[in-house]
Every structure is written in structure tokens, then in C-alpha cells.
Amino acid sequence: MQLIKNKEFGGERPLFASHDLHLDNVTILAGESAIKECSNIVATNCRFEGNYPFWHVHGFTIENCYFAVGGRSALWYSDHLKMRDTVIDAPKMFREMHEIDIENVVMNDADEVFWRCSGIRAKNLKLHDGTYPFMFSSNIIVDGLESDSKYVFQYVKNAEIHNAKISTKDAFWEVEDVTIYDSVLDGEYLGWHSRNLRLVNCHISGEQPLCYARDLVLENCTFDPACDRAFEYSTLRADIRGAITNIKNPTSGLIVADSIGSVTLDENILAPADCVIRTR
């Protein structure tokens, strides 16, 4: 593997079609597509300022690096990435990629990141600002997530999320086969139109959570007192610890809680309208 150290590259495609490179303390200046159509690339202690540096790259490692705002849309159409201990200030990262393994990564503008990706394994990931992280992605395992981005995990399939703290709006819409463990989920309209969404040891807050859900499962979950109008038009099995303020028009299944503030069953409830609701 060729080592390139303490260098600067700018302009268009300075390292185009390179293979078997180790870039150490390299700065990619303003320009486009610095490391395009490459393979077997290692970048350590590097700074990326130009647009689109890693497109169509196959097999690469990024460690202790920094992506400035100008390094937007940096990782697209690539595969088999390992990223560690990296800070990203640029938006629109990770698009149309597969096999992504990241740890200790901070993204300060998480706008439209992880779109249409598959095979994502993330540990200790922080997402700030931006909209629609993980849109249309699949086969995801996350352990340790802090996110205040809006509309996270929309249209996601086959995901497992552990130890997350998510503050958002409209999270987990239209997801399928997603399980969330030991997490805090704060946001309006959580999990609408989901299929096979399972929440285990989670705390839920925000208005009108978990409506229009099919085959929803809650195990040992708690609800914030301000969380009302839950489960409208949903089919579910829910084990709720503590109190839930209001349940509205669930379609079918079983809801068990320690206490229930009120239940709304009105003329708009959908058939079969046979959900069992009871206190423990």
C-alpha cells in the first residue's frame, strides 16, 4: 500500500482511480471528486474540504478525520466502509451505499444522511440538526444513538436499535420489522403507519403516538403524562408500566397498563373494534 503523507490536493479528481493508498494527514482542498472510482483506501488524520470526495469507492477506512461543510455529499455509491472517531460538519452524507461500519462518529448537520443504504452497523453515533436521516435504508443495527434531527428512520426496513435517545417529530413512519430496545423516544406522531414495530423497555413522549400501526408490540414501556391519543387505528399488544393518559380508538389486540387515565372509543373506530383494554 502506497503511503501519501502531509500533502494537500485540490481541483478536480486529483486521485481519480487510485488503488491501495494510505492517506495520512492529507487535506483535500476545494474541488470535486478527489477520491473517485477508487478501492482499498485508508484515510487517517485527514481533512476534507472539497465536494464529493468518496464516490464509487470500494473498500475503505476513515479514521480520526474531519469533513468540513464544503465536503458535502462526501460518501455516495460506495461500499464496505469502516469509519471511526470522525467529525462531520457536511450534510447529505452516505447515499446509495452498502456495508457501512461506523463507531464514535458525530454528524453536526445530519440532513438527508444514510439514504437508501443497506447493511449499516453503527455504535455511539450522534446526529444533530437536519431532516430525514436513514430514509429508505435497511438492515440496520445501532447501539448508542443521540439524535435531535427531524423525521428520523422513515421507510426503514429490518432495523435493530439499542440505547437511543431520540428527540424528533414523525419518527419511524412507514417502517417495517423494526425493534427498539432500552431507548427514550420523544416526538410527535411516533411510529405512524408502521408494520411489525416492537418497542422494548422504552419511554415514549409526544402527542398521538403509534397510530395506524399494524402488529405493534410494546414490552415493559412507559409513557410521559402529556402523551395522549395513543394507538388510534392500530392493531397491537402492549404491556405498559405505570400510567398512560389516553388511549383512542385502537382497532384490535390487547393493551394492559398499571393505570389508564381515559379511553376514547367513538363512532370513528374501525372494525373489528375488539381491542381488550384493561389495567393490571
Residues 102, 85 contacting (CB under 8 angstroms): no
Q: What is the pLDDT of residue 38?
A: 96
Q: What is the pLDDT of residue 134?
A: 97
Q: What is the pLDDT of residue 169?
A: 85
What is the block-wise mean pLDDT of the chain (280 residues), using blocks of 10 residues? 94 94 96 94 97 96 96 94 97 96 97 97 97 97 97 97 94 97 94 98 95 98 95 97 96 97 93 94
Does residue 272 have a cis peptide bond before it, meaning omega lies within 30 degrees of 0? yes
What pTM was estimated for this model as a whole? 0.94
Measure the CA–CA gap between 157 and 218, rounded to whole angstroms: 18
How many alpha carbons lie under 13 Å from residue 28 in its C-beta half-sphere? Answer: 34
Q: Which residues contact 87 (CB under 8 A, 6 or more apart)?
A: 65, 66, 67, 105, 106, 108
Q: What is the pLDDT of residue 48?
A: 97
> What is the signed CA dihedral for 10, 67, 168, 275, rounded to 10 degrees?
90
Measure the CA–CA gap between 87 and 131, rounded to whole angstroms: 18
Q: Looking up cell 458525530, which residue turns up? A: 106
Q: What is the pLDDT of residue 129?
A: 94
Measure the CA–CA gap between 233 and 248, rounded to whole angstroms: 8
Q: What is the pLDDT of residue 71?
A: 87
Q: What is the pLDDT of residue 250?
A: 97
Measure the CA–CA gap between 187 and 207, rounded to whole angstroms: 7
Q: What is the pLDDT of residue 187?
A: 87
Taking CB atoms within 8 Å and a gap of at least 24, the contacts of 104-110 are: 109/69, 110/147, 110/149
| Grid coordinates belonging to 34 | 478527489
SS3 content of the chain, % helix, strand, coil (to 5): 0, 55, 40
